[in-house]
Structure 1
Amino acid sequence: MTATAPRTARGEKTRRKLLEAAEHVFAELGYTEASVSRITERAGVGQGTFYLYFDTKLRIFEELVEDLNHRVRQAMSEGAASATTRLEAERAGFAAFFRFTAEHPALYRVIREAEFVSPESLRLHYTRIVEGYIDGLRLAQLDGEIGDIDPTVAAWALMGIGEMIGMRWVLWGSGEGGAGDDADPTASGTTAVPEHVLDEMMRFIGGALGRGAGRSDEEDS
């Protein structure tokens, strides 16, 4: 799914312009209605230039999924870099994800369309995110920070929490004059999840990652 690699800085800049244009066009029109001509028009380049970097509309769509995935994982990793505990890392990582979503609301529509346009890209997107989660949770278990949970199940559950909270409060806005529109899941809403929502979210996650209700004090003695 890798496109032709540019050989010069100018070529890389052109490729980036095409990906940014594709991000907007696919979000606004959807995959079916989007076209190479619309992408090149938005990027300000000729159609012939497009084919120097991407073979087809599908190829740039798949490359866009991979690009968004790389950038959102990088944002989350950088956000959590200074955390000293697993819960701090979770909170900082989620906050970074929400900021990225506010800046790139196309992420939601593009990823959802990938289910039908390129299922392989969809699976790769989620798998790459979950792999990082699993590694972090396993390390936290070894350090005694979290309870005896299945890291794989927890990782998928955590990703689902972040995705739904981001949709409700970032894309759709606060419902109190926020920029989002409840009828449009691709709308850019608030720039951050409200603190009280993030607090409640982390309280829930903290309980889920802890020792759990199924263990008693006698089991610890």
Structure 2
Amino acid sequence: MGKAAGSGASEARGAGACRRLSRDELAPEAREALFRAAMKVVGKYGYAGCSVARVTKAAGIAQGTFYLYFKSRQALLDELLPHVGQQMIEFIRNRVAGAADVFDKEERGFRAFFEYMKINPGFFRVSTEANGAAPIAHAKHLELVTWPYVETLRRGLIDSGIDRFDSSELEAVAYMLMAAREYLYIRYIKSGASDKAALEQVVRTYMKFVRGGLGEI
């Protein structure tokens, strides 16, 4: 009888050992390391070259451990852009905190975007290739970045007494400003061809465009 009980306990332990751990039970540091590694790998090789082997090597994690966190390579890619995109949003949000008005906030956000992209060069390729390689991630990312930006513009313009745009037009405005940031990044940061003085001129030109376009001048 004692043996049977012991055998049952062993079987229970065995069953528990085979149970897939929940995300709450897994080490968050390892999961974050996989995201950071994936951003670097995609930045260097693109989504097509982002293999589990390359990601785990870059993260310093065993390949078998990868599957405790993600069911497949695609599962990781489907979460990658929204995850690192949220980090970018938080980075910019911290930089614009305490801004005097919508224009001060826009300039701070513009500078913060460039700063984040310099620190995380892999993010650009993660973002630009996602529409084809990870459309689920791309759609979620656009939702995450667009609607808070639209709301920021709406509140900022109201607070500044500017009523040039109807609320229904602000999504298009947000997309135009985000596109401007991306292309200016390609020209002035990604190429590595511009010095600090040139970058300051870009900021001044961008803000001249924003102030005129949004209606302050």
* TM-score, structure 2 normalization: 0.82
- Which has a greater percent of helix? 2
Q: Is 1:174 aligned to residue 179 of structure 2?
A: no
Q: Which amino acid aligns with 1:20?
A: R
Q: Does 2:39 match 1:34?
A: no
Q: 1:49 to 1:83 in 2, by over 3 A?
A: same
- Between Structure 1 and Structure 2, how many residues are aligned? 193
Q: Are positions 1:200 and 2:205 aligned together?
A: yes
Counterpart in 2 of 1:160? 179
Q: Which of 7, 13, 22 pairs up with 2:29?
A: 13
Q: Distance in 1 between matches of 2:87 and 2:176?
A: 21
- The 1:145/1:157 distance shift into structure 2, 3 A limit, reads farther
- Aligned pairs for 1:141-156 within 5 A: 141-149=157-165, 150-156=169-175
Q: C-alpha separation between the residues in 2 aligned to 1:144 and 1:167?
A: 31
Residues 117 and 193 of structure 1, relative CA distance in 2, 3 Å threshold: farther
**Cα distance change of structure 1 residues 211 and 44 upon mapping to structure 2, 3 Å threshold:** closer
| Kept after mapping to 1: 8 A contact 2:149/2:174 | yes
- Conserved? CA contact 1:6–1:53, under 8 Å: no
State the Cα distance separating 1:211 from its structure 2 match.
Answer: 6.0
Measured in 2, the distance between the counterparts of 1:121 and 1:108 equals: 14
> Offset of 1:175 from its aligned partner?
4.8
Tell me if 1:112 matches 2:128.
Answer: yes
CA-atom RMSD in angstroms: 2.0
Structure index of larger Rg: 2
Once structures 1 and 2 are overlaid, which stretch shifts more, 72-81 or 138-147?
A: 138-147
SS in 2 for 1:194: helix
Q: Residues 40 and 102 of structure 1: is their aligned pair in 2 closer, same or farther, counting only changes over 3 Å?
A: same
Aligned-partner Cα distance in 1 for 2:115–2:45: 23
**Identity among equivalent pairs (%):** 30
Deviation at 1:52, TM superposition (A): 0.4
- 2:129 aligns to what SS in structure 1? helix
Residue in 1 that maps onto 2:214 = 209
1:60 aligned to 61, 76, 89, which one? 76
Q: 1:201 and 1:208 mapped to 2: Cα distance?
A: 10
